[in-house]
Every structure is written in C-alpha cells, then in structure tokens.
Amino acid sequence: MGSFILQRPVDIYWAPVFTATVCCTGALFFFWKWRNKQNIQKIILNARKRRDISLQRAEQAVQLFKSQNPGFESSTIVTLSLSELTAKLQDGFLQPDTVLHAFIEKALEVNKTLNCSTEILMESLEQLKVMSTQERGLLYGVPISIKENVGYKGHDSTCGVVSNLNDPAVGDSVVVAVLKKQGAIPFIKTNIPQGLLNYDCGNSIYGQTLNPSNLQKTPGGSSGGEGALIGGGGSILGLGTDIGGSVRIPSSFCGICGFKPTSKRLSLQGVNSCIKGQKSVLSSLGPLARDVESLALCMKALLCQEMFTLDPTVPPIPFNHEVYESTTPLKIGFYENDGYLQPSPSMSRAFRETKKLLERAGHTLIPFQPLRLYEVFHEFILKGVMADGGALTYTMLYNLLNFPAGSVPVSVVTEEDEEQLQHYNFIHKDPLDKLFVEAVKGGVGLPVAVQCVSLPWQDEMCLRFMKEVEELTAQNNLNLKRSF
C-alpha cells in the first residue's frame, strides 16, 4: 500500500511534462516542415526568376539587333534546312549574329506557347565576339539547343530536381566544348521531367511542356523540351539523352528525327543524371533535328579528335562516311508487334506502309520476333532501372542491348486510325491496355514514326537506314500529291 501511495503523486507530476514534451516536439516538427517548404518554394521562385530574366534579356537583345538591322527577317532563316544554313554560313551569305538572333526570336515565340525552355544562354552573344578568330568548323555559326541536364559552365543541370538547384556547372560538358570548337553556338537549355526517367515533360521548377502539334498532348520525355522546341521551329539542332527512349520518343511525338547512338560512342562527361551508379541499362547522348542528314552532320562534328582528346574513355572511332553514303541494298529484320505491348492502329499502319516502301526500293525484309521479351523486360530492365515498374518495351530494349536506334516520322494519325482504336484488340486486355487506349485517343493529325535499329557500333549504318526510310517516305508523299 505504501508503494502505491508514493507512486501516484509521481504519475500526476510526470503526465503534464510528458504531454508538454510531445506537444512541443510535434509543434517543432510541423514548424520545421513548414519552414522547409517555404525554403523550397523560395528556391523554386528564384530559379523561375532567373529563367524569366534570361528570357527578358534575350527579348531585349533581339529588339536591339532588329533596330540596328532594319532589313532583319528571321522567318527566312529559321525555315532553312541545316545543310542550307551551314552552306550559307560557310560562304558568308549569312552571318552568325544574324542567324543566332533569328533563332532566339523564334525560340522565344515557341516557348510562350509550349513552355519548353529552362533558360536562354546569354553567353551565346559573347561567343559571337570570338568566332572570327576560330577556324570554321562543321557547325560554324549554327545555334543549337541542349537538354537541361547537359552541362554548360555557370548554369544548373537540375534534372528537374529542386535539390540540384544553385549548383552551377564549373565547366562545359565535353560535347558542349566540342560543339563550340566546331563553331556551334549553344543558346538555350530545354525542359525535362522531374528525375528525367519519364515519358512526359514537366517538373515543379519549370512546369509542364506541351506538344507543338496538339497542346492537349505531351511532347514525350525525357528530352521533351528538345522535341517541342525543334518540332515548333525554335531550334534546328539539339542534344538529348536516352536511357529508355528519351530521345526517340519525344522525336516521334513531335514529328522530328532523333538518334540514340551506341552508348559511349559520344562522351557523357559533364552530363548530369539522377540515377548515378545504375549499370543495367546504359544511357546515351544523341542529337535531335528536323531530318536525318542533320543528325548525321552532328555525329560527324562530334566524332572528332577534340572529343577523343577531352574524353579518352570514348573509343576514337571517327564517323564512317562510306557506310552512311552507301547505296547497297539493305537486309532488314522487322516486327510490327513485339508480343508485349501492341502498337496503336496508326503505328501499325505507318509501319506496314514503310515496310512496303523499303521492299519496293529493293531492300530485303526478314520477319523476326524478339526472344523472351517478357523475361528480359521484367528481370533486366525494370529491376535494373525502375524500382516501381514501368512500360513503352519497343525503345528500352535497345538501351539494354546497347544497339543504336533512331526514330523517323513517316505519317500522321488519321480519322480511320482513330475509329479503329475503338475496336482494337490489344494483347493483354488489362488496365494498362485500357490506359494506353485513353492516352492515344484524340490524336488525329499527330505525327507517327518508325524506329530503325542496327547492331552495336554500327551507328552510321543505322543513320543510313533512317535516311533511306526518310527519303522513301518523302518520295511516296510527293507521288501521292501528284496523283490527286
């Protein structure tokens, strides 16, 4: 009894102390969370302010240039092909400052609608001042865009992640340094999804990027800002990265061409990533452009002694002109359906039309089916790259195998394609199939692409294959127009 009587006052004393301690700890925790959220919002707002300031400064620079050059007309410049543009720059018919201001003006216009830029690189105007002292490289005077995670001295490469803000690159990435050496002028960084590994293009820092052909649709990802900007006419050549289709998917969604080289063919030094240390599936850096010839020119420019010197881990293999320019008939394996994810009606139709064009041109088409794809995709790709699963097998398979691959636009979605979508029999008939149907609905007029693939290190052969598809498609479209 005595011990009971002594314990009771102690309980009465400690109860309020314990309650107060818990309340104070909880209050401190919520205060800390609130302050942390406020700090994050402040960091994000500062990043957006920096972007807006760069856009405003770029606008002012264009207006100043126009006032000093009354005859300046950007529309005649930004519609040129890359081969036409480089020719006019090399022979002096166009000057680099005129071309740069033309593309800055167009990029600003496109960005207002699509939100595809993370910032204008105002150092590009400074680069103009030293160009007269440099040799005229393959891309002399050509303005280029770069994906946000590609390092450029003095600028963040956030990968769409707030924790990477306010950590500017101390130097240019190797590819940026090489392109500058070749006379190219990086002038804009483009938007990406948060963490990069996504087939959309939006993040909490810079917002959502839209598709240039349909503002209700995504431009794809993760090089979605590149796809949108080039597809909208605001850039003629850009650099993206690809670990599961991140160059090929936005290219196909935005109606342009994109190329994923064999991994390690181009240097990745100075290119940021959110999945450092992952070795199951290798990332590649590759170009996006309006046509295959532009992709090939970019590869020629990058595969030079300057890159091999700056990054000795890159195999010193120059661009093979003989393979790319060859006209020897090709032997091409094909499959319309990989047995894992069924393509939409527009994709199947575009694929069959392209197959016919290739056969008619004298190429040999051989059917084949990827082996054990379900096991490969789930055991090697998903477990190696994505902790939470994922989907779109057609592109990521070739990252796993490290095959060069590219996308070439060959058609657009038709009303008939849209109608067939309502009655299409998909493989699994599960929620993912239903989600896929919902995702591709309302796509009439959107571009449709095919993927071209070759064996590792045969990058020039892949580009040659892509060029063949592009030229045959263009000739077929011309013949169809003449027949009406």
Q: Let me know if 145 is a catalytic residue.
A: no
| Both tokens assigned to 163 | 């924790």
Dist. CA 294–CA 85, nearest whole Å: 11
Name the strand (E) or helix (H) holding 146: strand 143-147
User: Which member of 74, 173, 213, 222 is catalytic?
Assistant: 222
* DSSP at 291: S
Q: Which of 62, 142, 144, 145 is nearest to 101 (CA)?
A: 62
Tokens 């320019």, residue?
325
Q: Contact at 8 Å (CB) between 90 and 136?
A: yes
**Strand stretches in 171-283, DSSP E:** 185-190, 202-203, 207-208, 237-242, 257-260
Nearest alpha-carbon partner for 389 in 451, 431, 449: 431
Our answer to whether residue 263 is catalytic in this structure is no
Eight-class DSSP state of 188: E
Rounded to whole angstroms, the Cα distance separating 305 from 58 reads 34
The verdict on whether 441 is a catalytic residue reads no
CA distance linking residue 240 with residue 286, whole number of Å: 6
Which residues 6+ apart lie within 8 Å of 261 measured at CB? 284, 285, 286, 299, 404, 459
Closest to 243 (Cα-Cα) out of 265, 273, 209, 207: 273
Catalytic residue (choose from 124, 246, 252, 283): 246
Rounded CA-CA distance 2/16 in Å is 24
Give the span between the Cα atoms of 202 and 423, in whole angstroms: 32
Candidate list 147, 180, 181, 189, residue with the active-site label: 147
Do residues 192 and 221 lie in contact, with contact meaning Cβ atoms separated by under 8 Å? yes
Q: Are 230 and 238 in contact (CB under 8 A)?
A: yes
Residues 195 and 206: their CA atoms lie apart, in Å, by 13
| Catalytic positions, written as ranges | 147, 222, 246
